[in-house]
Every structure is written in structure tokens, then in C-alpha cells.
């Protein structure tokens, strides 16, 4: 028996290539990558809701007949589409290699959810969008301390972060190197 560590290779899905992207996020692998990101990347799945919203179905087939919906759902980059109003699913469809039982990375859609949550908080009088982040979180660092909640929700804050995905050196890809 040897004391040498076992040799390994970089995970090919996470290894960053010359274009500064990992294989999972490259053109030929992107859909597979997003469909399986929960198994590939070092992210965690956390389901902690004490209560869940029960959804019924009231399918409106006209939604699927819309030209824009047909165009989107027939794309090779399509994963899933669900239209919900209140507590009713009006329309849902999935790519052949995806389905309602599969997790999908939500990434930027969290901004939409956050704005919906804050809308409820404003309506309930629990937050004031004109107040600064620092007034609610006095311990927060200088990056967001003086920004209003509205500025943060609008992503109207000055920072050195870029999501220009046409730029291989965009900040959005910087997390890939330590992840892979």
C-alpha cells in the first residue's frame, strides 16, 4: 500500500476550457448541462417549505396554439413551460428529455420571485422600498448598504459585475473556475 494520493482528472463537465466556460455551459452541452446541473455542479437542493401551495389544473389549450409558444416550445433549447394563474395550472409542456419530476436550475428567475415576494411585503406594509438596505441590515458591507431596496430590486446598483455572455471574460463565468 502506498501513501501517495490517488490520481484523478478534472471533472470534464466542470473543467473550464480556453473559452473560459465549462463543458456543461458550452453550446453543444448547454441543454444537457442545465437539465442535469443539480448532478453536475456543486449546488445544493434545499426544499424547506413548511407548507406548499396546492395547484389544480384548468388547462387552456389556446395557450399552446399561440405562435410564440409553439416557436419557443419547439426550440432545441427548450426545457419546460408552465403557466399558472392563482392556484391553477393553465398550461404545461416539457421537452422530450425533461419533465415535471426533474429539477431545473432557476438562476436569474429568482429575481422575478424576489420581486413578487417584496410586492407582498410592501402591500403588507412590512418594507419601504425607498429605505436603504443598511437600514434593514446594519451589518451589511458597503457594496449595498446605501442602496435603496428599490435600487437592489431593479439591479440598479454600481458594482464590478458583468453578465455580458458574449464576452468570454464576463464576471458571470468567474465562478466556474473555482467550481470546476
Active site residues: 108
* Rounded-to-integer distance, Cα 101 and Cα 93, Å: 12
Give, in order, the Cα–Cα distances in Å from 21 to each of 91, 150, 162, 164, 167: 34, 32, 15, 13, 11
Q: DSSP letter at 82?
A: E
State the Cα–Cα distance between residues 31 and 134, nearest whole angstrom.
39
> What gap in Å lies between CA 152 and CA 158, rounded to an integer?
10
Q: Give phi and psi for 100, each to the nearest 5.
A: -70, -15
First to last CA, the chain: 30
**Size of the chain, expressed as the number of residues it contains:** 180
Amino acid at each position: 500500500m502506498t501513501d501517495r494520493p490517488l490520481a484523478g482528472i478534472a471533472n470534464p463537465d466542470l473543467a473550464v476550457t480556453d473559452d473560459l466556460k465549462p463543458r456543461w455551459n458550452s453550446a453543444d452541452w448547454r441543454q444537457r448541462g442545465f437539465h442535469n446541473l443539480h448532478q453536475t455542479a456543486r449546488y445544493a437542493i434545499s426544499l424547506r417549505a413548511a407548507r406548499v401551495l396546492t395547484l389544480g389544473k384548468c388547462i387552456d389549450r389556446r395557450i399552446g396554439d399561440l405562435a410564440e409558444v409553439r416557436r419557443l416550445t419547439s426550440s432545441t433549447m427548450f426545457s419546460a413551460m408552465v403557466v399558472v394563474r392563482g392556484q391553477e395550472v393553465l398550461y404545461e409542456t416539457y421537452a422530450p428529455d425533461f419533465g415535471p419530476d426533474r429539477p431545473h436550475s432557476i438562476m436569474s428567475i429568482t429575481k422575478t420571485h424576489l420581486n413578487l415576494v417584496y410586492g407582498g411585503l410592501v402591500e403588507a406594509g412590512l418594507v419601504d422600498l425607498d429605505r436603504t438596505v443598511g437600514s434593514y441590515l446594519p451589518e451589511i458591507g458597503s457594496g449595498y448598504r446605501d442602496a435603496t431596496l428599490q435600487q437592489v430590486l431593479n439591479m440598479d446598483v454600481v458594482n464590478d459585475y458583468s453578465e455580458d455572455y458574449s464576452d468570454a471574460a464576463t464576471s458571470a463565468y468567474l465562478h466556474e473556475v473555482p467550481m470546476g
